[in-house]
């Protein structure tokens, strides 16, 4: 080490001049470096072209001309797909050849989610629930990725991944209980609608502040790696959330700590009203992966098999090699951002119609099933009727259930309630008694 250190000092500190002897050979440049040893000037030949950078922060070569790296060095990242828009397999070697029952289950989950969205969206419009966010058009990203995971894998979601939870077996009654904030809600009615969570299904409860799940997922994946349990963490986020500082923190932690983690970005074209061309200047989110030293891929999110293949392979390698993967699933948010948004203010009906009618994950999968004789008009009609009935029944049950006891607003934060919270609780009850006529307390659990 000392010898190397001494040599480096020689090269960098002790130099007085570097002369290029172009006359000797125009192609191979001979150079001399001068330095003093005990006061005496000495010269040593060296070849600058053979020098290698020694900086600890990069693996690189020296260059002798000034050139900025073009941002389009990483651009035009291709979109991996298995099926074309008519549901035909493009390259048979990429066909996951899933059994009929599995494919039918994909289709049924995607359409059930769609039906649940429709009914809960309407129920918000009728004032029955306070808020809702639909998943229209992104069903392929949910089901394709969820199917490629093991039930023990830990999921961190954003808020538009209800299909992942549905695929894992979260019952309609619990989706409804959360949105209605009734006594059956696992979150005890404390969260806004769509902030689901399930410990049993390894699905971490959704938080509203964007991107907070990204560094949390990195931490969880690091813990899982230390446990050595062959599990992976998957972290979903929108392309908008990828502009948060937390995204950078999470990506970098996961890469440097070599965590078994799949970063799954749903690039659906918008962050509320901001289109992607106003969100970033690079080639989407996949282009950022190499900057963090992460293996990355862009997939057609409306192709459920492409999403499945990419997630399955990322999962396998993330565990085998202990490293994070970045999947950017290209899709389109067909619905409004939420029930608080009216997207006609910032995008055209024609744009939405294109995705709804010509490039939809559900119709693509249906084409695939129809071509194999697995699904026809009759099955479709029967399933639509049955799935609507399932959702309506769960919805009616949820609406009739009581609300959680108001005291639950104050529990589960401290082991023993501090006096400040005790005071707030008393004040709440005084208020509820005083303005009794405005509070339907008989709807609440006693």
Ligand X SMILES: Cc1ncc(C[n+]2csc(CCOP(=O)(O)OP(=O)(O)O)c2C)c(N)n1
* Contact residues: ligand X, CB under 6 A: 160, 208-210, 238-241, 266, 268, 270-272, 333, 337
Of these residues, 48, 75, 122, 431, which one is catalytic? 122
Q: Which CB sits closer to Mg ion, 215 or 238?
A: 238
- The correct pick among 268, 296, 323, 343 for binding Mg ion (CB under 5 A) is 268
Return the one option of ligand X, Mg ion, none that residue 208 interacts with (CB less than 5 to 8 A, by type). ligand X
284 sits near Mg ion (criterion: CB under 5 A) = no
- Residue at shortest CB range from Mg ion: 238
Is 208 catalytic? The answer is yes
Q: CA torsion 408→214→260→143, rounded to 10°?
A: 80
Q: Is 67 a catalytic residue?
A: no
For residues 270 and 50, the answer to whether their CB atoms sit within 8 Å is: no
The reply on whether position 238 binds Mg ion by CB under 5 A is yes
> HSE of 43 in the Cβ direction (CA atoms, 13 Å)?
7
Distance, CA of 182 to CA of 184 (rounded, Å): 5
CA dist., res. 349 & res. 302, Å (int): 20
Residue 380, CA atoms < 13 Å, CB-side half-sphere: 11
Measured CA to CA, the distance from residue 43 to residue 46 in angstroms comes to 10
363 is catalytic: no
- What is the CB neighbour count within 10 angstroms for residue 49? 12
Q: Which whole-number Å values give the CA distances from 80 to 87, 107, 339, 444, in the listed order?
A: 14, 21, 33, 51
Residue 387's binding partner out of Mg ion, ligand X, none, with CB under 5 to 8 Å set by partner kind:
none
Catalytic annotation, pick one of 16, 75, 130, 208: 208
373 binds, among ligand X, Mg ion, none (CB under 5 to 8 A by kind): none
Asked if residue 335 binds Mg ion (CB under 5 A), the reply is: no
Residue of 296, 338, 343, 387 marked catalytic: 338
The entry of Mg ion, ligand X, none near residue 209 (CB within 5 to 8 angstroms by kind) is ligand X
Stretch of 42-50, 182-190, 239-247, 416-424 contacting Mg ion, by CB under 5 A: 239-247
Is residue 337 flagged as an active site residue?
yes
Q: Which stretch binds Mg ion (CB under 5 A): 46-54, 105-113, 171-179, 268-276?
A: 268-276
CA angle in degrees (0–180, nearest 5) for 141-144-150: 120
Do 266 and 301 touch, CB atoms closer than 8 A? yes
For residue 337, count other CB atoms closer than 10 A to its CB. Answer: 19
Question: Rule CB under 5 A: which residues touch Mg ion?
Answer: 238-240, 268, 271
Q: Which residues are catalytic?
A: 122, 208, 337-338
């Amino acid at each position: 080490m000392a010898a190397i250190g001494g040599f480096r000092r020689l090269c960098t500190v002790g130099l007085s001049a570097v002369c290029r002897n172009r006359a000797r050979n125009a192609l191979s440049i001979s150079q001399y470096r001068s330095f003093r040893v005990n006061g005496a000037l000495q010269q040593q030949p060296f070849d600058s072209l053979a020098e290698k950078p020694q900086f600890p922060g990069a693996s690189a070569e020296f260059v002798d001309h000034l050139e900025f790296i073009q941002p389009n060095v990483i651009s035009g990242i291709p979109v991996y797909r298995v099926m074309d828009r008519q549901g035909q397999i493009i390259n048979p070697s990429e066909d996951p050849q899933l059994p009929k029952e599995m494919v039918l289950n994909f289709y049924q989950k995607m359409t059930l989610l769609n039906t649940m969205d429709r009914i809960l969206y309407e129920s918000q419009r009728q004032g029955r629930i306070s808020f809702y966010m639909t998943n229209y058009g992104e069903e392929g990203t949910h089901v394709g990725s969820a199917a490629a995971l093991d039930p023990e894998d830990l999921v961190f979601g954003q808020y538009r991944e209800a299909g992942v939870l549905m695929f894992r077996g979260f019952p309609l009654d619990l989706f409804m209980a959360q949105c209605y904030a009734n006594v059956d809600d696992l979150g005890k009615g404390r969260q806004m609608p769509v902030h689901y969570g399930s410990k049993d299904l390894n699905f971490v409860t959704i938080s509203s502040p964007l991107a907070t799940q990204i560094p949390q997922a990195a931490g969880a994946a690091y813990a899982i790696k230390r446990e050595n349990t062959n599990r992976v963490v998957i972290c979903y986020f929108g392309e908008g959330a990828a502009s948060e500082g937390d995204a950078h923190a999470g990506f970098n932690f996961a890469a440097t700590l070599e965590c078994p983690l799949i970063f799954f970005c749903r690039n659906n074209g918008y962050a509320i009203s901001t289109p992607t061309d106003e969100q970033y200047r690079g080639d989407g989110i996949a282009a950022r992966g190499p900057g963090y030293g992460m293996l990355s891929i862009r997939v057609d999110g409306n192709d459920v098999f492409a999403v499945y293949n990419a997630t399955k392979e990322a999962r396998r390698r993330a565990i085998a090699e202990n490293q994070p993967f970045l999947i950017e699933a290209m899709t389109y948010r067909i619905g409004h951002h939420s029930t608080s948004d009216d997207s006609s203010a910032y995008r055209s009906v024609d744009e939405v119609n294109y995705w709804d009618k010509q490039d939809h994950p559900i119709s693509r999968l249906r084409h695939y099933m129809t071509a194999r004789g697995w699904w026809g008009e009759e099955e479709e009609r029967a399933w639509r009727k049955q799935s609507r009935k399932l959702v309506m029944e769960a919805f009616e049950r949820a609406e009739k259930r009581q609300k959680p006891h108001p005291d639950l607003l104050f529990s589960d934060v401290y082991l023993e309630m501090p006096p400040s919270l005790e005071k707030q609780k008393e004040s709440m009850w005084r208020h509820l008694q005083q303005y009794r006529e405005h509070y339907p307390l008989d709807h609440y659990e006693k």
